[in-house]
Chains A and B, each alone.
Chain A
Amino acid sequence: MAQIFPEWTNKLPPYIALGVIIIITGVVGFVWYYFSPWYTDVGYRPEQPVTFSHKLHNDDLGIDCRYCHNLVEVSPHANIPATQTCMNCHTLIKPDSEKLTKISESWNLEKPMQWVRIHKLPDYVYFDHSIHLRAGVGCASCHGNINQLEVVKQNMPLSMSWCLDCHRNPDEHLRPVSEITNMYWTPPDDQMVLAKTIRAEKDINPNTDCSACHR
């Protein structure tokens, strides 16, 4: 009986096996890296209508985060300041700067600024800034060293596992409430002891039930 397959096909099986392994590893690796919010979301830096510099205002001039985001300690939402807040200073400081054209326009026409939102959570997630600040999670823990940024970007993936990592193991991220907006605060050597005291004092037991966030 004539052979159906030429002789070289004898060498195929190992190559096929190798190919399958490479393809599977490749697909897993691809999904692992490129489908992760660490790739898709972190570093999101949209262009804002006004080139507001956090570095200038916060780091160089020393304005506290809460001067502009004034409701962050009492509200679920860390508010974006109204044009009014900008104008508190800018009626006197560089009122004619070209960079501020849009702000004065907004001010004169009484139309709110259209800032581009960076940190987006899905509709089905409940998140409250105030309780996190009261517990002693600093701004920098989630938003990174925003005081060094000319243009703000997303620093953390905001994925569910990222939330859960901290809810399950918050000790590394707690600090005294007086330090929450301090961008240069570093955990002391006895951070674990400090965290324990803070947790005991405020009875902090982060909730990991579904209904904690999906209400």
Chain B
Amino acid sequence: MANGTENIAEYSGTEQALDPDKLSFRGITDKISGITERRTPPVWFVAFGAAFSLFLVLLGSIGYLIWEGVGIWGLNNPVGWGWAIINFVWWVGIGHAGTLISAILFLLRQRWRTSINRFAEAMTLFAILCALIFPGIHVGRIWVAYWMAPLPNQMSMWPNFRSPLLWDVFAVSTYFTASLLFWYTGLIPDLATFRDRAKKKIKKLIFGILSLGWRGGNRQWRHYELAYLILAGISTPLVLSVHSVVSTDFAVSILPGWHTTIFPPYFVAGAIFSGFAMVVTLTIIARKIFSLDHIITLDHLEKMNKIMLLTGMMVGYAYSIEFFIAWYSGNIYEQFAFLNRAFGNYSWAYWIMISCNVLIPQIFWVKRWRRAVPVMFVASIIINIGMWFERFVIVVTSLSRDFLPANWDYYRPTFWDISTFVGSFGLFFTLFLLFIRLLPMISMTEIKGVLPQADPYHHCPGGHNE
């Protein structure tokens, strides 16, 4: 037995994350399906009620925004981009972990991803939805938001393809579509399991339609695996491209502090950083509530913490190289922009960002803390606060101190800025709670595939080598 476990570790090239003694094929199906089949636990209703109330706050804020206009936000003359763009970039960034886990780690044969990929992909989709709200509502006249799309119209108006804001529309919507297809393709075998286990006629019909006639035959599996591989291949460049394009919103402009070539890789690293932090936060809650410790093990969490440590340092490197280039370029406006960030009137935000994003992740050098759930839970939340402040620092410090000192002003959010942002969490958690209640939140088929029992070289207890 011990011999067999070593074999699979060797074979898959990864550490043994799942304990075969605690997991069986049947046990996994029962466990994951059971979460959605059991009566709804009261704690779910409490959480859903809270999330849905926040969602109503979002709807109310948007309604008032449409009625009254963007004047209800704290935007002022130099700072024409406030929380809306900050929240957009933040949510899109969070959305990056899902596809990184599902696509890139899949292509790199990182089999530990199977315990968290479904979860992370769902989080990605919901985060992108939250993100898409902000560019949609910030246009002021929301009823002409369709002008962003290349639709022939009686005005002969066409989007300006030279504008990075338009690239954004396409990058994010492509990303959403690809992520949705990828997520759905992965769900099909599990949806078929749900269909087969369903007792009620209506449930059988719904999952029957959703599972697209999946029977689990050999041919179907071959097509499925190939489709999944192709989708992973399509999604992989998107992980890198989407936030690169988002960063061009800033980098293509001429404002000091925005106009830098480091932005695309720096944004991608930050996106993966915040995305993993959000996955860790949510995973810790879910594995606690639904007792999934044996499926999402400490090994999984530790690996994610290592990625956070890595990307956190990449972000820290970007922060320091920006200062270096500002000095090295000899451009006084660039130098002013960065000195102003660290020591100007928004220095409080800058130092929050540095502490949360650069200093806090350093605790993950210590193995004991890397494997301590309370520590990583708090750290992951702090990291996301820090990443929000990163976008705040970038957007607000550069805008509030532009080229003409006569324009300078101090930006403050209003009640409606805050309520819209807080409300977007309502949308996110409403969708997330519905997801964990209605769909398999862990990929049953893929987990089974990485179990030691699934390995052809594995010898079961009672098998012929015992």
Assess the A157–B205 pair: CB atoms within 8 A: no
A170 CB → nearest B CB, Å: 15
Residue A192 is within 8 A (CB to CB) of chain B in the complex: no
> A160 CA to B157 CA in the complex, in Å?
8
Q: Which residue of B lies closest to A4 (CB)?
A: B208
Assess the A159–B196 pair: CB atoms within 8 A: no
Q: Which residue of B lies closest to A165 (CB)?
A: B156
Assess the B196–A160 pair: CB atoms within 8 A: no
**Chain B residues, CB < 8 A from A162:** 154
Assess the B208–A159 pair: CB atoms within 8 A: no
Residue A36 is within 8 A (CB to CB) of chain B in the complex: yes
Mask, A153-165, CB within 8 Å of B = 1, is 0000101111011
Mask, B240-259, CB within 8 Å of A = 1, is 00000000000000000000
Q: Which residue of A lies closest to B156 (CB)?
A: A161
> A135 CA to B164 CA in the complex, in Å?
39
> A37 CA to B156 CA in the complex, in Å?
13
B160 CB → nearest A CB, Å: 11
Assess the B154–A159 pair: CB atoms within 8 A: yes
Which residue from A4, A36, A164 sits with its C-beta under 8 Å from B156?
A164
Which residue from B155, B195, B205 sits with its C-beta under 8 Å from A160?
B155
Assess the A157–B154 pair: CB atoms within 8 A: yes
Mark out the residues of chain B between 183 and 208 whose CB falls within 8 Å of any chain A CB in the assembled complex.
195-196, 204-205, 208
Per the CB 8 Å criterion, the residue count for chain B at the interface is: 10
**Chain B residues, CB < 8 A from A159:** 154-155
Assess the B154–A160 pair: CB atoms within 8 A: yes
A164 CB → nearest B CB, Å: 5
**Chain B residues, CB < 8 A from A157:** 154
**Chain B residues, CB < 8 A from A5:** 205, 208
A10 CB → nearest B CB, Å: 10
Which of B154, B195, B205, B208 has most chain A Cβ within 10 Å?
A: B154
Residue A1 is within 8 A (CB to CB) of chain B in the complex: yes
Assuming the contacts A1-B196, A4-B195, asked whether A161 and B155 have C-beta atoms less than 8 A apart, the reply is yes
Which residue from B154, B195, B196, B205 sits with its C-beta under 8 Å from A37?
B154
Q: Which residue of A lies closest to B215 (CB)?
A: A1
> A4 CA to B197 CA in the complex, in Å?
12
How many residues of A sit at the interface, in one of the four size bands? 10 to 19
Mask, A23-48, CB within 8 Å of B = 1, is 00000000000011100000000000
Mask, B169-180, CB within 8 Å of A = 1, is 000000000000
**Chain B residues, CB < 8 A from A165:** 156
**Chain B residues, CB < 8 A from A164:** 156
**Chain A residues, CB < 8 A from B205:** 4-5
Assess the B208–A160 pair: CB atoms within 8 A: no
B241 CB → nearest A CB, Å: 29
> A1 CA to B195 CA in the complex, in Å?
12
Mark out the residues of chain A between 91 and 144 whose CB falls within 8 Å of any chain B CB in the assembled complex.
none
Q: Which residue of A lies closest to B195 (CB)?
A: A4
> A117 CA to B154 CA in the complex, in Å?
22
Mask, A1-31, CB within 8 Å of B = 1, is 1001100000000000000000000000000
A200 CB → nearest B CB, Å: 27
> A160 CA to B196 CA in the complex, in Å?
57
**Chain B residues, CB < 8 A from A37:** 154
> A57 CA to B377 CA in the complex, in Å?
86
> A5 CA to B153 CA in the complex, in Å?
44
**Chain A residues, CB < 8 A from B157:** 160
**Chain A residues, CB < 8 A from B195:** 4
Assess the A161–B196 pair: CB atoms within 8 A: no
Q: Which residue of A lies closest to B196 (CB)?
A: A1
A51 CB → nearest B CB, Å: 32
A189 CB → nearest B CB, Å: 30
B229 CB → nearest A CB, Å: 25
> A162 CA to B204 CA in the complex, in Å?
55
Q: Which residue of A lies closest to B152 (CB)?
A: A32
> A160 CA to B195 CA in the complex, in Å?
54
> A164 CA to B158 CA in the complex, in Å?
13
A6 CB → nearest B CB, Å: 11
A30 CB → nearest B CB, Å: 14
Mask, B134-166, CB within 8 Å of A = 1, is 000000000000000000011111000000000
Q: Which residue of B lies closest to A35 (CB)?
A: B154
Assess the B154–A161 pair: CB atoms within 8 A: yes
**Chain A residues, CB < 8 A from B155:** 159-161
> A35 CA to B152 CA in the complex, in Å?
12
Q: Which residue of B lies closest to A41 (CB)?
A: B154
Assess the B204–A4 pair: CB atoms within 8 A: yes
B141 CB → nearest A CB, Å: 12
B129 CB → nearest A CB, Å: 24
A161 CB → nearest B CB, Å: 4
> A37 CA to B205 CA in the complex, in Å?
46
> A165 CA to B157 CA in the complex, in Å?
12
Mask, B8-43, CB within 8 Å of A = 1, is 000000000000000000000000000000000000
> A164 CA to B157 CA in the complex, in Å?
10
The 9 closest A-B pairs by CB, nearest first: A161-B156, A160-B155, A159-B154, A4-B208, A164-B156, A4-B204, A161-B154, A37-B154, A36-B154
7 intermolecular pairs with C-beta atoms under 8 Å apart:
A160-B156, A160-B157, A161-B153, A161-B155, A162-B154, A164-B156, A165-B156
Show the binding face of B for A, using Cβ within 8 Å.
153-157, 195-196, 204-205, 208
Show the binding face of A for B, using Cβ within 8 Å.
1, 4-5, 35-37, 157, 159-162, 164-165
5 further A-B pairs in the complex, CB-CB below 8 A; given A4-B205, A35-B154, A161-B154: A4-B195, A5-B208, A159-B154, A160-B156, A161-B156
